[in-house]
Amino acid sequence: MARMPLISGNWKMHHNHFDAIALVQKLGYVLGKDDLEAVEVSVHPPFTDLRSVQTVLESDKIGIALGAQNCHWEEKGAFTGEVAPPMLAKLNVRYVIVGHSERRELFGETDDDVNRKVKAVLKAGMTTILCCGETLEEREAGGTDAKVTGQVLAGLDGLKADVVGGLVIAYEPIWAIGTGRTASAEDAQAVCGLLRRTVAGKWGAAAAESVRIQYGGSVKGDNAPALMACPDIDGALVGGAALEAESFAAIVQFRLAAPQG
């Protein structure tokens, strides 16, 4: 069975709740019913915007899934400044990004933290987008494969095959994030193919066949068609280009453009 592509907009620390409302209303206008039937779309605003975005998506019946960028692994407690997975689930959040390289690099998240977060998100009834990716130094030293497979095996450790089959993994080479430097479709496919084989080796063929693998790192409307044409790439995790409706819609509508190169 073909995997439904998932295009996700990670807004990072951009847009207050007024900007967020305007952006999702515009997305609801520029993305037609056909677009949202062919491709699943999620938006991941900052926490302070979630309730506003939820209200617009639900009241205007916009077929875009609500996502979050992070969460804590505990359900509640004395964890000042943190947000618990059940709080996100209560807002009808469907996807939670876990282990983004910015969380790992800037906030010291370890593979163990990531694994706890993955389990907590699943326990609360949501789905994870588990991120992995190598630095430029690691790539140049030939360490890409070990880094990304290590992050995925550690992040999903202890999960059953049927659960893994329903998840999303995002391959985001750190050197391609926010730099305008995209991995070539060949390089992105090579790593995403490796990740699928890694899932097959640990959780079996059925899980590998159904798990969705996104590419992220300077995805734009013009490079999306070639990336999306790769057999093991099932969508995109988009940063900068997700901050405006036109540039995000151009990625969601990748089928309308002819692949380049």
Catalytic sites, residue numbers? 100, 172
Span from 47-55, 138-146, 154-162, 239-247 in contact with ligand 13P (CB under 6 A): 239-247
Q: Estimate the crossing angle of helix 245-252 against helix 17-30, to 10 degrees.
A: 40
d(CA 215, CA 40): 15
Cβ-based nearer residue to ligand 13P, 71 or 208? 71
7 counts as binding ligand 13P under rule CB under 6 A: no
Nearest position to ligand 13P, beta carbon: 239
Choices 28-36, 87-95, 107-115, 170-178; region in contact with ligand 13P by CB under 6 A: 170-178
Q: Does residue number 10 form part of the binding site for ligand 13P (CB under 6 A)?
A: yes
Nearest to 144 by CA among 156, 131, 134: 134
Coil, strand or helix at 180? coil
Q: Which residues inside 196-235 make contact with ligand 13P, applying CB under 6 A?
A: 216-219
Rg (CA), the chain: 17
178 binds ligand 13P (CB under 6 A): yes
The residue among 172 and 232 lying less far from ligand 13P, judged by its C-beta, is 172
Question: Does the footprint of ligand 13P cover residue 133 (CB under 6 A)?
Answer: no
Indicate whether 237 belongs to the interface with ligand 13P (CB under 6 A): yes
Q: Can you tell me the distance from the alpha carbon of 67 to that of 94, in angstroms, rounded to the nearest whole number?
A: 6
DSSP annotation string for 52-121 = HHHHHHHHTT---EEEES---SSSSSS-TT---HHHHHHTTEEEEEES-HHHHHHH---HHHHHHHHHHH
Q: Could you list the residues that contact ligand 13P (CB under 6 A)?
A: 10, 100, 172, 177-178, 216-219, 237-241
